[in-house]
Each structure stands twice: as structure tokens, then as C-alpha cells.
Structure 1
Amino acid sequence: MAVVSSYSATVGLTIGCIIFGLGSLIVAHVDIGGWAMAFWRLAISGVIFAVLAKLTGQRMPHSRRAIIYGLLSGVFLGLDLALWHESIYAVGPGISTLLNSLQIFFLAAIGFLYFNERQSALQLLSLCLAMLGVAMIGSPEFAHNTNATWGFIAGIVSGGMLAASMTFIRKTHDTEPTPIFVLMQLISIGGVLAMIVPMLVLDMGNIMPNTLSEVGWVLVYGAVMQCVAWGLIVYSIPKLSLTLTGLLLLTEPVAALIIDYSWLDKPINTLQWSGALLTMFAIYLGSIKPKPGALRRYRFFSRFYRRKYK
């Protein structure tokens, strides 16, 4: 039974990451601001998950802390999506998705700074390799793209927001096991509330879709990319080892890079391809923890909160 569960989680995570990467194609073609796009994605998914939770009889957790953690996960996911969208507009889906995948290093930094998680020599090496890879990707981009600085900043910070969102998903489950549809509903509500003010300030005049085609793509983006892709990712991650998770998550930037190059005619030279491969290799190395403690990067959250609140 455990083998079947692991296999289904592996397939689910791979499919979720590929679909997630395909979502960048919609973002690149729909003329809506990045913050507004995040708002609509989370609002549409929130309605769908509320209906699914009602139909399946799933209930909100009794713990107020679990509810707050779920909402906070949505706040950070909203920030992640909005900044990722802005990075897509500036440097394209491939590079922006690769930068967003640097979230693994933000998780390591949280562990080191706040919970005394020591980093192995392999992880320090992976950080150096990732920095070199990003430099290889960025040097040609800065030479011809005036938006490259903002694109790289937004993409990297979005990775930090994604790490925070994943952290609060773990905290929610550690506080009280929460059904998947209810958890996704809480995440959607938190994200929608967080997007209202920045959307109205930063995307005024560029909030609503302009054509029926754009309305359709926004609906697809919210229903498929958030409900299906993110739902599969959230469902699968707790069931897999961190090493395998880190490897499978690389399917997302790979898919986005291929889309960027083949469908959107993004000029990516040999140096940038080499930097992308080096960065993805570094991300994989950064996901590996020395034995014992294969899942320690995620488990330190649960250990800390069990000690603090038991």
C-alpha cells in the first residue's frame, strides 16, 4: 500500500509541476496585471474548492491556529504568484520559473537562521553553484533586456514567498490534519484578501480581461493551474522524500524553459542553457540532506512546534 501511495504521489507531483509550468504560457499571453492575475486565479480556485469541500463533507479544522496558518499560506502564495507573474512579463516564463524554483534555498535559510539547522558541505556547494548558474543566465539577459533587473528580483523573491507558503502548509497539518479541499479553500481565501489592495493600486486599469478569449484563459488558469496543478503538488509533497521531491520539482522549470524557447521564441543562448542546467542541478543538490534525517528540512517545522505547544 505504501508503494502504491508513493507511486501515485510521484506521478501526481510530476503532472502537477508540468501543468504549473504550462500556466506561464497563459500569463504571458493574457493582458492583465500580475497582481490581478493572481487575484483571479485564487478567487476562481477558491469558489471551486468551496464547492468541492461542501460536496465531500469536508469541514474546517477546529483549531483556530490551523485556520490562521492556512490563511497565511495563501497570503504568501498570492505574493509568490504576483511576483512570478511580474517576472514572467519581464524576462519570460522559463527564466522566471527557474528563479522561482530557488525556494529550496530559502527553506534552508529559514532552518539555519531560526531553528539552528546546520547546512552540509554539499548544500553550501549547491548554493554556490546556483549563484553561478543564475549569473550565467543573467549576464546575456542584462545585456539586451532593460527589464531584466526587476525580472530577476521579482523571480527570486517569489521563490522566498513560495517557501513561506509551503512552510505554513506544513504548520497547518502539524497543528491539525486538514482535508485537502478545505486547506486549498483557506489558501485561496488568504491569497484573495492579500491581493485586493496591491491589485487596486498597482494594476488599476489592467484588472479585468478584455475579451471573451481572455476570460476563458483566466478561468482555465484558475481552475486547472491552481485547482489541479497546485492541488496535486500540495497532496503529493508530504508523501515523498525530500530528495525525490527536489528532483521532481525540477520538471516545472524544465517545462517552462522549453515553452519559452519553442513556443514564445525566447532567445536563449548556450551560456544561458548551461546556466539553467547548472542551476537545476544545484537545486537538486540543495534538496538532499545527509543521513540520518532524510526529511529534516521539512520535519524541523513539526519538531519545533511539537516542542513549543505540547
Structure 2
Amino acid sequence: MKRLLALMLTLLLALGAVPSAFAETSDASGDAAASTEDAHKHHAHKPMPPQARKGLERALENVKGTPAEKVIQGLLERAVTPEEAAKRLKEADELLKKHKKQLSEEEREALKEMLKAARDVLKEMKEEEAREETREALLERVQALQSLAQLFAENNDWQAAIEAQEKLVRVKKADEQAFAFLGRLYQKAGKKGIKTFVNGEPVSFDVPPVIENGRTLVPIRAVAESLKAKVQWIEKTKTVIIERDGVVVKLTINQRVAIVNGRKVMLDVPATIRGGRTIVPMRFISEALGAKVEWIQEGQIIVVTDEATGQPADQPVQQPSEPANEQPASQPADEPTAEPAVQPAP
């Protein structure tokens, strides 16, 4: 049992959960406990991942009524840095191998449970730390790009400002303020025509989008590929079939009735062919496939975002209302800022 306690204490140190009684009486682990004191304070507020907690709770059941119970209970209450945890886990593994033959089957099983649970904790800690670093890096990138775009705009370098802002919307995929500022930059630069972004990425068309009866039609294949949807063309019936995540949409050229998962839907504008490409109503096809569509009037930008796509940074981008105090370029043809929902066919 003494060896079991020594191993458990080492494992306990892996996550910085040493009860004071053990820390004071263990010569071998005293220095390690002291070295992790600051890390305890930093990480004590973090909750233990559910999977790891369950593993430790199982281990706790195996040592009920023994001095080891307090050790595991302490392990359930605190955590330490991933680096320190990795170091101590290695030591615990080595000790387990060294004394394996001298331990009872029950002791070995208890230690295995603890090691497995501790590794789960370590994995979760590393993943959480990586997520935090990613969010911080993205936030810094957003702030840097925002500053660059504004700096270029203030100096009337519209192309450089556009490039910086286009990089920004790749990160802030659904931020309307960021796209609105990009639209104003397009106007300042005199860039006409409809621009389309899917999940922050610009979509290029070999046939330009068109507006008919207040609806924007775009080449379906480029949009479908951007949304990772499959497209099939049936020449005999002039029908295009789009599939994504269990949704099947069928549109027939020059027909105002579409089929979505077997249900008839009436379109304001039918699919048609332009320049050898099938063009379809952008809002209808995007929303049918589970994406969100926004229309930015200034600069004529279509913003398509998967419903599951969020913002990497916590706050929306704060953009100036105007890039600079100059007269805007001429306004391209308008599209309604909002479109009514497509009505089911009778």
C-alpha cells in the first residue's frame, strides 16, 4: 500500500492536486509540489472535463476507505499546466512499470484507472489551451487587419484597403459591419458588379451574376462547390439537382416550381441558362441548403454563411461609417435589401 500511495502521490502531482498533509510528509515530492504552486493558482478555476472526472470517480470507488481516497479526491479538485502534467505523468508511468510486479492486482487496476483519467485531463487541457491561443491569435489578426484597412482608406489607397478588408472578412465570415465597410471601399474604388462571398471566401464566376425581377441569379456550380454541395445535370429534362447534408433541391430550366426534398416550392424567378451556365436564384438555393444570405446594398455584396459558422473573435468588428470624406462612386443598380420568403406552390 505504501508503494501505491507513492505512485498515487506522483500522479496527483501530475495535475497539481496535492493535499497539504501529503505535500508536507513526502520528501520525494516536496520540490515538485512547490514548483507547481503558481500553476495551481492560475488553473484552479478551470473545471475538469466530464470524461476525465468520470475516470477519476471510478478510481475513487476502488480506493474507498484507504488513505488514497484523499489523494484522488484532491485530484478531482485541481489542475496544473499541460507541461507540468506531461512531466509528472511520465514519472508516474515509469514508477508504475518499475513496481508493477510488487503491486496487487487491485492496486494495479486502481493506478491504471488514475493514469487513464489523468491522460484524459491532460488531453483536454492541451486542447483547451490551443483553442484559447487560437482565439487570441485571431483577435489580434482581426485588430491588425482592421487598422490596416482604415489606414489605407484614410490615405485613399483603395486597392490596398480592399485587400486588407477582404482578408478580414475571411476571419469575420458573417460580420455585417465588416462587409458593409468592404462595400463602401468597393464604391470608393469604383468596383461595380455583384460580388459574392461564401463563408468569407470570394466566389469567382465565369458568367457574371444578374438581377432579374429583384432577384439575383448566379451560376449554380460555383456556389454549390463553395458550400460543398453536389451538383448533377440531367440533360434530357434540363434539370439541375443539388444535394447537401440530406437536402435535395431540383430545379428545371425556365420552370418556376422547384422541388425541395419532395416538396414543391414556387420561385419568383426560374433557373435559366446564360453563357452556357445554369444560373439560379441565389437566396433560394442558399437558404434551401441551410445557409444564411445577406445583401449589402453599398458595393453590391452577397454574403452567404453556413448557419453553424460563428465568429472566431468575441466582438463584432467596429468599422468607421465611411472610409473617407470623399464623394462615393456612382451607385450600381439596386437590389432589394430584403427578399420575401419563397412561397410553397399550391
Please state which band the TM-score falls in when normalised by the shorter chain.
under 0.3
Q: Which has the larger radius of gyration?
A: 2
Q: TM-score, normalised by structure 2?
A: 0.19
Q: TM-score, normalised by structure 1?
A: 0.21
Higher helix share: 1
Higher strand share: 2
